[in-house]
Structures are given as C-alpha cells and as structure tokens.
Amino acid sequence: MLPSCNSPERKPQPLLKPNSPESTVSRKSSPHSLSHPLSQAHHSLHPRSWLIITIFSLQLLLFLTARYLPFASFRRRNHFPSPYQPVVAISAPAIIDECSSGKVYVYNLPPIFNTDFIEKCNELDPWNNSGCNAVSNNGIGRPANGLIGLVPQNLTGAWFRTDQFAAEIIFHNRILQHKCRTLDPNSASGFYIPFYAGLAVGKYLWSNCSAKDRDYHGQKLLEWVQDQPFWNRSYGRDHFITLGRITWDFRRSKDEGWGSSFLYMKGMRNITRLVIEKNPWDYFDIGVPYPTGFHPRNDADVIQWQNHVRRRPRKNLFCFAGAPRGKFKNDFRGILLDQCKRESDACKAVDCGGRRCVNGTSEILKTFLDSEFCLQPRGDSFTRRSIFDCMIAGSIPVFFWKRTAYYQYKWFLPTEPSSYSVYIHRSDVKNGIPIRALLEKYSKEEVRRMREKVIEYIPKLVYAKPSEGLETIKDAFDVAMDELMKRFKGQEEDGFKWK
C-alpha cells in the first residue's frame, strides 16, 4: 500500500539475494516477496525477456495499488451519499411581528382637551342643535335610516349618520384598542396626542369670538405636551395628532383671519398631523379619508358590500350632488349643475342647497349607486367628503383639480390616477366642452376596470365600527397607523432631527 500524503516517506530497502531456503520462505511471507523470483531469474533470462518481465511487473503493481488512490473514493460517491453531508434542519414557521415598526403610546390628557367636549356637546353646534348627534357612538353617530332597497338588509346595521368632522373621536377610540399600543412610554416609537382640536375651534368659527378664544385650547395643550419628558427627548418628531377639520382651519396668520393659529404655534413644527385635507407642501400634514356613513362590523360586511356595488345596475352615465355658490362669479359647481340638468337623460343632479345633503343621506347614496361616474369638483376647500361617499358606492370619480385627491390621499388611493378616476381640466368645462361626450368615449371594459379598482380600495376608505377593527381586512385607520409607524421608523434610522 502506498504511503499517505501526510506520513513520512520510507526509504526503499535493497533487494538481497537469498542464501538459504529458510530465508526464501521468510521472504515469501514478507511484503517484498515479489523480489525473490526476480533475483533468481536475473542471470538466466535474456536481457529482452528481463525488460518485458519488468514492464509487466510494474503494470501489475500499478493495478493493485490504483484501488487505494483518492479518486476511487470520488467515483463511489456518485452511488453512495457521504454520511458527512450536512443535515438540513426543518425550522418552525416564522412568527410575524405585527409591531415591527414600533409601538405607540397614548397620552392621557386632562379632560379639557377631549372628553369635556363630548360631555358638553350641546355647545358644539348651538345653531342647529346637532352637536351631540355628531359626537355620539364613539364618533360614528346615530344609525342611518331610509336604506330599504339601497343596502342589503343584513348590512343596514353598518350604516350611520356620521359627521364629516368626527375623525378625531374615531381615531382616539380606535387607538386605545390598537394592537401596538403600549402603556410603557419607554418602549414606544410613536406618541399620540388625543386632542380634539377640530371640536375646540369649531364652536368659535361662526361667532364673534376673538382670536384668543379660538387659540386658547391649542396653546394650553402645547404647554402641557412640552412639559412631558418624551416630547423633549425628540422635540415632538415622533408625536402625532388627528385634526378633524381641514388644515386651513388651523393656519390663521392674522388675528382677523379664519380659524385658529394652532399649526403655527411653538411646539407644532415637528408634530405629524393626520388631517382630512392637508397642505400638499407641508411634510407633517398627512391626508386621511373623510369619515363616511359605512362602518363595517367584520370582514364579511366589507366583502358583501363590495359584491353589492359590483352587481348594482347603473342607469345614469354620471351624476352630481352639490350646492351652487351663487355669490361667486362663474361658480364652477353651478356650471356642473347646469350641465347635468341639461343632460337629464344621462345625468342625475342633486341640489344640496341648505342642509339637504349634510352627512350623507339616502338620496345621495342612491344617486351614487345608480351612476357610472360621479362629478367631484372642489368643495369649500380643495377636498370634499363626497369623494368618499361616491367611491364606496362603486361610482368612478371625475376630478377637475388634482389637489382634490391626487395630492391628498397617497396612502389610501391607487398610485395611478387613471386606473380608478377621470381627470378633466376645469378650463375645458368652462369653455363649453360637454362632460357627457368625454365620458361616453370610455368603453364598457374600461369602465368595468376602473370600477373594479374603486371597489378594491373600498376597505382603505372606511372606518370599521369595532374599536379593535376588523378580523383581517385593514381599514383606513389601520392603513394610517401602519404607514405612520413605518415613517417614524424610517426617520429614526435616517437620523432625522428637528428643533
């Protein structure tokens, strides 16, 4: 046997001529016994014969030793697996961390900043005596009526007369039961301030109250928050708040102006605001859907409603629900109403003058359910609740300002605007181009695809009724929280700092 590569090489021993039979016998039993016949024949054979025998002996030696060479074992591995191959371990299914972006801590504010408004709800809307209805039932309002024939019977319990400015109460109620809420502020990545800023300023907007009155609650709230150690740790950059009114109601720059100056106060610079209409150029404003009347109780409610609006026959090509603004020259909403009334065989018009359409009515819902498209101009500001009333009814929105939706609700609407909506520049309408002719250019298949995209996004546009949310489907609140916590985590990883 040949020596291994790691063993010392042995010196070859000289072949000795035997002197006696005893030595011959002993050598036959030795490893070198092959040398004996060769030595006997050394002098008796012809030199050529000796050469042949030598070559044959070398071949025999190579044949006998080849089986021990390393490559022989490699050939055998093709047929017999090595016992030393690594064993693949079967691991347990990965556990999904639903709070991988962090947990949220909810400040326990003094009642003057939130619950006092609920208890004194009669002071919120003294002109129409509807303030208590607006804030009842954790913000979703009182049950809706007049839904027979419009809503499947077993879904009527999911519809309410929800106030469009109730987001502050809805978010507060939901976040208290959020799966990622923590009672330990040291473990939190985000801090929620449950201040009802919209209710605080709302009751002062249509009276002769001073700027000081409108700013009072906001100033006191910020004094309280800035006393908290976790605000001072980050200067508010991981804090957030919900504003139930549009951002412009909190951006008063002069005492004689509209609303409060809450967003311009010291301490608000770094706080993120979830608001139903944002300033597109303010990083800390994030647009969230207006509350609508549909508040599903479970996943089944969502799926059934999606199927209902998908199968709904639609007899109108388009519709418009809104009130004209007679005091404005060339009022655009007035132009839309006039066009719709002239095309009455294709368009359904609902004049919302007075309080006819406040917080959604069965007539508004029926109009959207019966129409392929719904016209959505800007409201008193760039957005309006009607956008969401229209879409949850499965109607395709038609926009005339990009700021009405495309620049507002990035987390909640499809990335590609043309996949779910139609955009017509308002100047084209003012110049006499008929809306009907533009909408009739869309084929049935194009309309079907756009409607399907609208229906797909319905869950992201509604707020569920249960405080803990739905079983598996994520609603507008869930989407907002998920994206917001991701944003906070990204800011922390990128080392963003503000003062």
**What are the chain's domains?**
103-292+465-494 (no CATH), 299-461 (3.40.50.2000)
CA nearest to 61, candidates 31, 39, 90, 88? 31
Which pLDDT score, from 0 to 100, does residue 125 have?
A: 76
Q: Which pairs count as long-range contacts for 116-120, CB under 8 Å and 24+ apart, including other chains? A: 117/196, 117/199, 117/200, 118/169
d(Cα 430, Cα 336) in Å, to the nearest integer? 9
Which pLDDT score, from 0 to 100, does residue 208 have?
A: 84
Per the listing, tokens 């009072």 go with: 216
d(Cα 476, Cα 498) in Å, to the nearest integer? 29
CA nearest to 350, candidates 362, 367, 336, 333? 367
Length, in residues, of the chain = 499
Distances (CA, A) of 217 to 198, 222, 260: 11, 9, 10
Blockwise average pLDDT, block size 10, the chain, 499 residues: 40 39 38 41 50 62 52 40 43 70 97 96 75 92 93 96 96 97 96 97 87 96 96 92 97 93 95 98 97 97 98 97 80 92 94 70 93 94 95 98 97 98 97 96 98 98 96 97 94 66
DSSP letters, 439-467, are: HTTS-HHHHHHHHHHHHHTHHHH---SST
CA 182, 186, 187, 193: dihedral to nearest 10 degrees?
Answer: 50
Which pLDDT score, from 0 to 100, does residue 353 have?
A: 74
Burial of 79 (0-12, 13-18, 19+ CB in 10 A): exposed
Contacts of 77 (CB under 8 A, 6+ apart): none
The amino acid sitting at 33 is S
d(Cα 197, Cα 386) in Å, to the nearest integer? 23
Tokens (6 digits) for 326: 């007679």
The amino acid sitting at 327 is K
Q: Please provide residue 398's backbone torsions phi and psi, each rounded to the nearest 5 degrees.
A: -115, 120
Q: Is the pTM of this model over 0.85?
A: no
Number of CB atoms found within 10 A of residue 402's CB: 14
